Amino acid sequence: MPDGLVAAGADGIVTSVNPRAAQMLRQPADAFVGLDIREALPLETRNGESWWAMTDPWNGLRTRTGHREKLLQLPSGLELLVTARYLRSGRAGPLSAVLVSLRDAEGRRRAELDHAALISTIAHELRSPLTGVKGFTSTLRRRWSQFTEEQRLTMLEAIDADADRLTRLITDLLDVSRIDAGRLRIHEVPLTTRDILTRHVERHVNAGQDAQDFTVTVAAGAEEIYADPDRLDQVLSNLLENAVRHKAACVTLEAAPWEGPTGPGVMLSVSDDGTGIPSEQRRAVFSRFWHGPSGGGTGLGLYIVRGVVEAHGGWAEIDDAPGGGAVVRAFFPGEMV
């Protein structure tokens, strides 16, 4: 059985413990057999109250036949998901046996930590732009006539930039939800590779980056890529943002034909000349809330990149760049697989 099982008779004495329960309780099964189940499993609520005193299958309601799964703990701090079944002789008859099913709470704990990380990320990322929007709008409302036209325009541009940041965050969170649920929709069309790569470079140049910091190379056979235009923009935006954040001097964008296991396609590569990613961390790079040494961003970008690329039928990986730093490769098949 994948779950632990502890059985006790009508008198509460443990009669059997399966191997999974012994493994979870970290003691051999023989250590529990013959003990009162309340002693063998001194289950408590998170408030430290005895769960057995609260449920009392021996003296409680005879119509009660068990309890649904509940998160409980042992005095050692070990948390378990516990389900109880009370076997009775006939309807509302005397108790004949108590069966307690145990399940490791580690998976539930990881899910709770993920949810806590998500809430923390949202709160942190929302606070800064909302503070900016609130500050500038309050200032403009109270002192509009005291500012010059140029000052008003500067404040409005800052508000607009913060609003765009909020929109990107909300879009990322929605996409993470779609990826997790397997509901990310892809509409592929043929696109001109160089035009797309050049357009993304121009966005960074217009934002203040030096055009000399970027190199775009499109090999013969990779002039056209099949992808969803909006989703491909997401991939390139996230990859370029990470590369620019970690570069020392330059960022290289390359497109080359590639023969994947499912057929031909185009390999997009975005590399920087920064410090790179240690090999032991590379498996975690595409997970949710992963942050590099800089600690910037939401930690969702590369998770979305992988989800989008896989939704196209491709794959993404990270490696050492030829000139130092890191390179992220994303393979897009020639057609949906």
Write the pLDDT tens digit of every residue in 169-179: 888 888 888 88
Q: How does pLDDT run across 245-275, given as a tens digit for each residue?
A: 888 889 999 999 998 777 899 999 999 988 8
Same domain, 156 and 231: no
Q: How far is CA 68 from the centre of its chain?
A: 29
Q: Residue 298's pLDDT is what?
A: 65
Query: Tens digits of per-residue pLDDT, 145-171?
Result: 999 999 999 999 999 988 888 888 888
Q: Does the pLDDT at position 209 exceed 80?
A: yes
What is the rounded distance in angstroms from the CA atom of residue 199 to the CA atom of residue 279? Answer: 32
124 & 18 share domain: no
Give the pLDDT confidence score for residue 165 in this predicted structure: 80
Task: Give the pLDDT score at 169.
Answer: 81
Q: CATH code at 124?
A: 1.10.287.130
Let me know whether 196 and 315 are in one domain: yes
CA–CA separation, 188 and 227 (whole Å): 4
- Transcribe 104-117 into DSSP letters: ESHHHHHHHHHHHH
- Quick one: how far is CA 204 from the chain centroid? 27
Angle at 100 between CA 97 and CA 103, to 5 degrees: 165
pLDDT of residue 292: 61
Give the HSE-up count for residue 293: Cα atoms under 13 Å, Cβ half-sphere.
Answer: 10
| 205 and 315 fall within a common domain | yes
Indicate if 29 and 129 belong to the same structural domain. Answer: no
Name which residue leads in pLDDT, 318 or 182.
Answer: 318
* Domains in the chain, number: 3
Q: Residue 211: CA atoms inside 13 Å, Cβ hemisphere, count? A: 4
Give 278's pLDDT tier (boundaries 50, 70, 90).
confident
Q: What is the CATH number of the domain that holds 58?
A: 3.30.450.20
70, 100: one domain: yes
Q: What's the pLDDT tens digit per position in 291-323?
A: 665 555 567 888 899 999 999 999 999 998 887
Partnered with residue 317 across adjacent β-strands are 329
Query: Are residue 47 and residue 34 in the same domain, yes or no?
Result: yes
Q: Are residues 166 and 200 in the same domain?
A: no
- Residue 256 is predicted with a pLDDT of 96
Which residues are registered as beta bridge partners of 329? 269, 317
pLDDT of residue 294: 56
- Same-domain check for residues 68 and 120: no
275-280: long-range contacts at Cβ-Cβ below 8 A with a sequence spacing of 24 or more? 275/246, 275/325, 276/320, 276/321, 276/324, 276/325, 276/326, 277/318, 277/326
What backbone phi and psi angles, to 5 degrees, belong to 97? -165, 155
Instruction: Taking residues 219-232, report their average pLDDT.
Output: 94
Residue with tokens 């449920």: 55
| Strand bridging mode 189-192 / 214-218 | unpaired
- In a shared domain, residues 199 and 128: no
In this structure, are 169 and 199 located in the same domain?
A: no
Residue 337: predicted pLDDT: 43
Last residue of a domain, one of 78, 104, 130: 104
Compute the distance between CA of residue 222 and CA of residue 218 in angstroms, rounded to an integer: 6
- pTM greater than 0.95 (yes/no): no
Examine the fold and report which residue of 74, 104, 134 is the final residue of a domain before the chain moves on: 104
pLDDT tens digits, 70-103: 889 899 888 899 999 999 887 778 899 999 999 8
Segments of the chain assigned E as strands: 4-9, 14-17, 66-73, 79-88, 95-104, 189-192, 214-218, 224-227, 251-260, 263-272, 315-320, 326-333
Q: What is the CATH number of the domain that holds 280?
A: 3.30.565.10
**CA nearest to 12, candidates 75, 81, 99, 137:** 99
Per-residue pLDDT at 105: 76
pLDDT score of 112: 73
In whole numbers, what is the pLDDT of the chain averaged over residues? 87
Domain boundary among 117, 146, 181: 181
Q: What's the pLDDT tens digit per position in 100-135? A: 999 887 767 776 777 777 677 677 777 888 888 999
pLDDT value of position 242: 87
Same domain, 82 and 8: yes
Pick 208 or 28 by higher pLDDT: 28
In order of 95, 193, 321, 322, the CA distances from 222 in angstroms are 73, 7, 20, 20
Give me the mean pLDDT over the 277-289 stretch: 78
pLDDT for res 183: 86
Count of alpha carbons within 13 Å of 190, Cβ hemisphere only? 4
What does the pLDDT read at residue 295? 54
- Per the structure, the complete domain to which residue 217 belongs is given by 189-333
Give yes or no for a contact between 39 and 22, defined as CB atoms under 8 angstroms apart.
Answer: no
